Structure 1
Amino acid sequence: MAGEHRSTETYADKLEAFSLWLSSKRYSVNTIKSYMDAVRIFLRFMNGKPVEEIGQADFILFNNEYILKNGYSAAYQNQMVNGLKLFFSTVENRKIEIEDLHRPRKERKLPDVLSKLEVKVLLDSLLNLKHRAMLSLIYACGLRSGELISLKLSNIDEGRNLVLVKNAKGKKDRIIPLGGKILGILHDYIRAYKPREYLFEGQQASSPYSYRSLQLILKSAVNRAGIQKNVSLHTLRHSYATHLLESGTDLRYIQELLGHSSSKTTEIYTHVSTQNLQRIKSPFDDL
Structure 2
Amino acid sequence: MTALRQRMLEDMRVRNLSPHTQSSYILQVSLFARHFGRSPEELGPDEIRAWQVHLTDERKLSPASIAVAVSALRFLYKVTLRKAWTFEEVLPAPKPPHKLPVVLSPLEVVRFLGCVDNIKHHAILTTCYAAGLRVSEAVHLKISAIDSRRMVIRVDQGKGRKDRYVMLSSALLETLRSYWPTVHAREWLFPGDLPGQPITRDAVGNACRRAHRLSGLTKPVTPHSLRHAFAVHLLEAGTDVRTIQLLLGHRSLATTAQYLRIATSTVCATASPLDLLPRPIPIEPKPAAPAHF
The normalised TM-score by structure 1 is: 0.85
Higher helix residue share: 1
Within 1, Cα distance between the matches of 2:52 and 2:121?
A: 44
| Counterpart selection for 2:57 from 50, 61, 69 | 69
Does residue 114 of structure 1 match 2:104? yes
Q: List per-residue Cα deviations over 1:79-132 (Å, max 9, x = no partner).
A: 222111110112211144333355421221222311100001111223443222
Within 1, Cα distance between the matches of 2:48 and 2:12?
A: 22
Counterpart for residue 155 of structure 1: 145
Does residue 85 of structure 1 match 2:88? no
Counterpart for residue 199 of structure 1: 189
Query: Residue 26 of structure 1: CA displacement?
Result: 2.4
Within 2, Cα distance between the matches of 1:268 and 1:110?
A: 8
2:208 and 2:222 in contact (8 A); partners too: yes
Secondary structure (helix, strand or coil) at the match of 1:138 reads helix
50 and 272 in structure 1: CA distance in 2 versus 1, 3 angstrom threshold: closer
**AA partner of residue 33 (structure 2):** L
Which runs of 5 or more residues in structure 2 are unaligned?
Answer: 273-293
Secondary structure (helix, strand or coil) at the match of 2:179 reads helix
1:81 and 1:98 in contact (8 A); partners too: no
Does residue 28 of structure 1 match 2:14? no
| Counterpart selection for 1:167 from 157, 165, 168 | 157
Secondary structure (helix, strand or coil) at the match of 2:156 reads strand
2:261 and 2:267 in contact (8 A); partners too: no
Secondary structure (helix, strand or coil) at the match of 1:166 reads strand
Moved over 6 A (4+): none
Counterpart for residue 262 of structure 1: 252
**AA partner of residue 150 (structure 1):** H
120 and 94 in structure 1: CA distance in 2 versus 1, 3 angstrom threshold: same
205 and 158 in structure 1: CA distance in 2 versus 1, 3 angstrom threshold: farther
Within 2, Cα distance between the matches of 1:77 and 1:95?
A: 22
Counterpart for residue 205 of structure 2: 215
Query: Residue 61 of structure 1: CA displacement?
Result: 3.1
1:252 and 1:263 in contact (8 A); partners too: yes
Counterpart for residue 83 of structure 2: 94
61 and 193 in structure 1: CA distance in 2 versus 1, 3 angstrom threshold: closer
The normalised TM-score by structure 2 is: 0.84
Within 1, Cα distance between the matches of 2:251 and 2:40?
A: 39
Within 2, Cα distance between the matches of 1:126 and 1:75?
A: 30
2:103 and 2:225 in contact (8 A); partners too: yes
Counterpart for residue 6 of structure 1: none
Secondary structure (helix, strand or coil) at the match of 2:157 reads strand
Within 2, Cα distance between the matches of 1:36 and 1:98?
A: 19
Query: More deviation in 232-241 or 26-35?
Result: 26-35
**AA partner of residue 196 (structure 2):** S
Counterpart for residue 185 of structure 1: 175
Which runs of 5 or more residues in structure 1 are unaligned?
Answer: 1-8, 283-287
Query: Residue 179 of structure 1: CA displacement?
Result: 1.6
Secondary structure (helix, strand or coil) at the match of 1:147 reads helix
Does residue 60 of structure 1 match 2:49? yes
Query: More deviation in 216-225 or 55-64?
Result: 55-64
Query: Residue 205 of structure 1: CA displacement?
Result: 5.0
